Chain A
Amino acid sequence: MLIKLSGARVFDPTQNWNGEVRDIFMRDGRMVAEPEPGARIDETYSLPGRVIMAGAIDMHTHIGGGKVNIARMMLPEDHRRDLVERGEHTRSGCGCAAPSTLTAGYRYAEMGYTACFEPAMLPVNARQAHLEMGDTPMVDKGAYAMLGSDDFFLRMMVAQEDQRAINDYVAFTLNAAQAMAIKVVNPGGISAFKFNQRSLDLDESHVHYQGVTPRKVVLALARALEELSVPHPLHIHGCNLGVPGNVETTLDTIAASEGFPIHLTHIQFHSYGTEGPRKFSSGAARIAEAINNNPHVTADVGQILFNQTVTASGDSMAQHRNAHHGSPRKSVVMDIECDAGCGVVPFRYRDKNFVNALQWAIGLEIFLLTNDPWRIFLTTDHPNGAPFTSYPHLIRLLMDKPFRDEMFARIDPDAAALSTLGSITREYTLAEIAIMTRAAPARILGLQDCGRLGPGASADIVVYRDDANREDMFTKPEYVFKGGVRVVKDGKIQQVTWGNVHVVKPEYDRAIEKRVSAYYDRYQTISLNSLRVRDDEIPLLSNGAELRVHTCARHRGKP
């Protein structure tokens, strides 16, 4: 069935389509080139005055894995205050900061998102994470496996094992957990916390795994992913999250990568200086400069927005530090299987609070001072900075200088005085939004058929009304197509689909499995065979989702 979308302004940076009016075509779930004249077109949508982009991709959103469930359990009030009744096509659900899986999927699709990536899947929790993502309808899914604070890896580091062995372990983990990438959270620090270290600087040694420093962990993992040609570079949640002065740590972390590609996640939380009367200031300019000057570095922002939310992180060290700021005042900080941690602290960001207001300004400064939209991504680190439903508001802040100024005028004046935000005139264009929410995440993740509209791509298409109020525009697309199926009309679900599961499967020397298996038999609660998520399980875990395996052939080399 050939469908034509006609007369809209189309944005696809990969095709160099920057908003010219053009017709696009899809057939059987794929984008196709303009057919020969005379070909039978089964359905035509006349869309003058509309804006078309590929389906958006959220490359860092906590929608699965153990900690989201803990947040759900801990915050029944979040669910009571946001009840969603079942609709004609949708099932009931609830929750704003930690929505139920179904509600999360529907809401993502209703905003024009067609792919979401869970950034913190502990390998030993992989099956549960896949089940949870599998229950998230509409969108494509993938997850990043967490390494760096697990005992097996830290022992390898202490033994100064050969990089090839580490590569094998990393590749084995990606395969066993059905993951898309590797994330490291507070490198080594989650483990150090359990040995009573309350901070771990980039060059500070773990007290138990003597000589292991976050710098070495980052380098070993970044190098492993590069040598395995995994498309997504190491996804780094650095040391000292939220600590004033951590801008130095973040700059040092960039240096520590020694040119291997890295992705710095929720970098807003890692861009704080110690200047000013309250010893808390913006490091955004230095961070943006570093990103601009280091082409091997990408980052997502982790913008905060003022409202109630919940922070859920594997960084139990940081969450333990922040637990007393919780609002409502409750929290969970726990170990997971002796291999990682987890901290969940509900939080209310307030615009009249000096620190929160400055965090807000820092995030926006990073967005606006980073020149290359291909290397900076739009995230709120859902739900840590704000629920993902606030993305349209964030897009308006980036695209609308008068609106931004209006919001800026409302924040705590002491924080405003320390921020350069008021003097930044840049406004993001639609083309740049299309890059940072579509084309760039697809490129950095190595998704071959998402985030673009050229022939061969999956027909994930969003049709927006070109509303001067960008928040309204991005809140409620007129149509969303997922794999060629019209799933949303006027911001409401029309048909429920289940998306695909994206993974990478780098090759490795199977000898490592014997070692890991022996280790699991001796120390872990489950055997390696139980940990491993098999390919044929994915459709069962994920409501019939297909496994999309992405190639690990692209070798970037050191810049």
Chain B
Amino acid sequence: MSALAPLIFTAQDVLPAQRMDISALTPQRLAGLPLKEIMTLSLPCGKRRLSVADVFTVQGEDTANIIIKGAVSRFDRMGATMSEGSLMVEGDAGAYLGQGMTGGLITVKGAVGIFAAAQMRGGAIDISGDAGDFLGAAVPGEMQGMAGGQVRVRGNVGHRAGDRMRRGAILIEGRVGDYAGSRMLAGTLMALKGCGTHPGYGMRRGTLIFPNLNAIPATFNGGDRQTFGVLTLLFRSLQKLGGGFAQLPTEPIVVQRYLGDRSGDGRGEIIVAPL
């Protein structure tokens, strides 16, 4: 473990009214910069640019271990394109948290806005509160959403989670909104407390796991009761996450599997399992 004190950015009490892009504050972009230079980094804020010193008080030195404190829910793109180290947000985060990140760990103590983990490629995100719409999705125009890594949400998640997702895992302890896994290409999305309407809308491949379904989507087939060895392995590996995942069954269980979306490629699956 590093003996250095973590680098702590504490947001000032009075913050600009506009949203702010603080993607500059990631371990790899701050690595090797002296504190003086960090204070002068410019951050886009609305149509202006502000310096770090305008917005934060900074203490500590370990750029591989960053903590952001304060009422920062208007701060967007935290940890975007992050590739290493640790970023902790002690509070709520704005939109596009961890967009395109490739490695490292982002921990959020509060809730996050829309498009968290959008086009994430690797690493891990742990969100204690709720997440907004389009978690792990593709931002408009992109053909693939999240394509690697793991996102864990302890609260509930908005609509369109995993839209165009390509790889990786989205693990939700609460409930996920409508159109979960829409246009999904591959990967795994699991919500322990169920989902809204139209799960797997337009999905090509990939796996959605829920404890129940309000209604079986009209374009999904199957529903036979069967057991899958792989689920036992998956659940065992997830137990180490603790929280709600500690209660996952570790013995083979009987599940129902629906295949779809038959209006598209139709090789995806929704697994309804007694979680």
Contacts and interface: CB of A to CB of B under 8 A. Distances in A.
Interface of A: 74-77, 80, 328-330
B34 interface: no
Most chain A beta-carbon contacts within 10 A, residue among B139, B140, B141? B141
A80 B139 CA distance: 11
A328 B143 contact: yes
B142 interface: yes
B141 A75 contact: yes
Nearest to A73: B141
Nearest to A328: B143
A116 B143 CA distance: 33
A328 B139 CA distance: 14
Contacts of A74: 141
Contacts of B140: 76
A80 B80 CA distance: 14
B20 to A, nearest CB: 16
Contacts, number: 13
Interface of B: 139-143
13 contacts: A74-B141, A75-B141, A76-B139, A76-B140, A76-B141, A77-B141, A77-B142, A80-B139, A80-B141, A328-B142, A328-B143, A329-B143, A330-B143
Contacts of B141: 74-77, 80
B185 to A, nearest CB: 12
Nearest to B143: A328
Instruction: Give 5 closest A-B pairs by Cβ, nearest first.
Output: A76-B141, A77-B141, A328-B143, A76-B140, A77-B142
B114 to A, nearest CB: 16
Given A76-B140, A76-B141, A77-B141, 10 more contacts: A74-B141, A75-B141, A76-B139, A77-B142, A80-B139, A80-B141, A328-B142, A328-B143, A329-B143, A330-B143
Contacts of A77: 141-142
A75 B143 CA distance: 10
Contacts of A329: 143
Contacts of B139: 76, 80
Nearest to A92: B47
A86 B143 CA distance: 29
A10 B142 CA distance: 48
A303 B109 CA distance: 54
Contacts of A80: 139, 141
B86 to A, nearest CB: 27
A521 B153 CA distance: 60
Contacts of B142: 77, 328
Nearest to A83: B44
Nearest to A75: B141
A328 B185 CA distance: 15
A513 to B, nearest CB: 43
A76 B141 CA distance: 5
Nearest to A329: B143
